[in-house]
Chain A
């Protein structure tokens, strides 16, 4: 039923790792010829945003985290690329929803919203979802810091 509960691990790498990945992805973006054309701002923004998320996923969890896997998979799908993620020991795909248990309606509603926000949340049980959310929040805040630094660094004086 319930598995033994190891202490929850929500470590995220240092800021540098995030920055490194993000900058690498950005420089990859630069190489695209269609990039940086001033007209298509929206496209550029979207690309940058996607690069940010993908680099964050790679930096933070690689394929060890559910949300990063889902993110990478989603991104690869958008590019029509096939991404093969190594199978983890636990079947992340098996949906264990115990319908028989009493479910707090309020909590479930919130959990649904959270599932929509966190990538890959749809296939998780609530407790696992919260673990992933915690890690996701940490990584997001780290990525935001990195981007803020970048913007500040490149901001016009």
Chain B
């Protein structure tokens, strides 16, 4: 990977200059590498067509110079080219003079390059000091590109050689937000896909200085028509959008060969958002995996929602009819794990009680025909229930007990009984709902019920 990079760099080599630089080159190179070879990338993107990479040295020199000029860097005399801070232009010029074509050194044999690779690696791995270059948005852009170039090789991408890299660089973002913190884009693939590379890391990395709220729409005039990139919604592992506390806007890169006016960019963002949600919906709606296309998907979704609503209506009809008659099967109610209990223990208990109450009440209002026999039955019921009313816990227990005992009785009897119990239970219900002590013995209720029945 390093070799590729160095091949790229090597194109710019200028043997004559190299010797002069040799002494200062290693440290300069090191530091210069720490600046992420911005000029290199910038020069590549800017002026050098593919061929140039492998050929012209004169152009390289000029490119390099211009690149360095635009590069903000500390003075070359200092050995620590940490690359941070706003540099002075004179510094860059000096750099140009001194270093000549750093590419030469890049083009040096692999051994040298390996060293390079390491020094490349170091600054890249650490957070690139691009944060400092906040002042110059252009520079940041180039820096971004170049860092991508560097990082590409760092990540061990086996690109198709410098050609691919060039192509991808050419297809680079038109603009980079002036966030200078660039993270090496991890998810790169070679060749064409590298174009669509998720250099969103660049776009979305937090911007230390993002003056204009319309950064997302900002487009560099020069490379507009040629190199655009679309914003990927998925950064490889990093959701850069979430990383950015300052930015409220998504930075969009227009695709290659497409319009870059703010409207279409916004449109693209919107469309991508919608497609993202469509995917989410696709998982929800059963049987939507095969369907592709927004229209069909939406059809499916609409049908599903309609069917769900119809189901609710149907079930409510059924519920209303079921509750009109009491076919009281306490056993079935309690033993069945109707509502799987979650961590919240109170809930199922309430449900079980609510079950009973619900059914009871329904039956009560329907047929309340107490006969003599039921009266007899009711009396013991009353006494038992009155006793139980002193304490909340036994109330339900008693009620269910009595209900179970009398399940064999006629419906009328049951209804009256239940009515009695329920009317009194209703007072208790709010208490029962909130009573924590209810939980304890309520566990016993089902078993008790079963025993009774």
Contact = CB atoms under 8 A, between A and B. Distances in A.
B33 to A, nearest CB: 33
B302 interface: yes
B332 interface: yes
Interface in A113-143: 113-114, 117-118, 126-127, 130-131, 133-134, 136-138, 140-141, 143
Contacts of A23: 350-351, 354-355, 358
A155 B313 CA distance: 17
Given A106-B294, A154-B355, A157-B327, 4 more contacts: A2-B266, A16-B344, A16-B351, A48-B316
A153 B315 CA distance: 13
Given A49-B316, A106-B295, A153 B333 contact: yes
Contact of A144 (B285, B312, B320): B312
B130 to A, nearest CB: 21
A118 B298 CA distance: 13
B323 A154 contact: yes
A144 B318 CA distance: 12
Contacts of A48: 316-317, 319-320
A1 interface: yes
B325 interface: yes
Interface in A35-67: 35-38, 41, 44-45, 48-49, 52-53
B280 A8 contact: yes
B362 A30 contact: yes
Given A16-B341, A133-B301, A2 B250 contact: yes
A117 B306 CA distance: 7
Contacts of B327: 154-157
A91 to B, nearest CB: 15
Contacts of B308: 137, 140-141, 144
A104 B294 CA distance: 10
A93 interface: no
A78 interface: no
B291 interface: no
Interface in B339-394: 339-342, 344, 347-348, 350-351, 354-355, 357-359, 361-362, 365-366
Contacts of A156: 322, 325, 327
Contacts of B341: 16
B254 to A, nearest CB: 14
A16 B342 contact: yes
B339 A19 contact: yes
Nearest to A140: B308
A111 B295 CA distance: 10
A20 interface: yes
Interface residues of A, number: 71
A75 interface: no
B338 interface: yes
Contacts of A113: 298, 302
Contact of B320 (A45, A130, A134): A45
Interface in B238-285: 239, 241-242, 244, 247-250, 262-264, 266-267, 269-270, 273-274, 276-278, 280-281, 284-285
Interface residues of B, number: 79
Contacts, number: 218
Contacts of B312: 49, 52-53, 140, 143-144, 147
B112 interface: no
Given A44-B320, A45-B320, A137 B281 contact: yes
Interface of A: 1-8, 10, 14-17, 19-20, 23-24, 26-27, 30-31, 33, 35-38, 41, 44-45, 48-49, 52-53, 98, 100-102, 104, 106-107, 110-111, 113-114, 117-118, 126-127, 130-131, 133-134, 136-138, 140-141, 143-144, 146-157
Nearest to A126: B274
By secondary structure, the A interface counts as helix
A127 B250 CA distance: 15
A20 B301 CA distance: 28
By secondary structure, the B interface counts as helix
Given A106-B294, A134-B281, A101 B322 contact: no
B321 A137 contact: no
Nearest to B334: A153
B198 interface: no
Given A15-B339, A114-B298, A133-B281, A154 B359 contact: yes
Nearest to A18: B339
A25 to B, nearest CB: 10
Which 6 pairs from chain A and chain B are nearest by CB?
A110-B298, A130-B277, A30-B361, A23-B354, A147-B315, A48-B316
B281 A127 contact: no
Given A52-B316, A151-B322, A36 B366 contact: yes
A130 B281 contact: yes
B110 interface: no
Contacts of B90: none
B267 A153 contact: no
A45 B315 CA distance: 9
A101 to B, nearest CB: 5
B324 interface: yes
B78 interface: no
B357 to A, nearest CB: 6
Q: Give the one of B264, B278, B280, B323 with max A CB within 10 A.
A: B323
B77 interface: no
B290 interface: no
B437 interface: no
Contacts of A101: 263, 266-267, 270
Contacts of B354: 23-24, 26-27
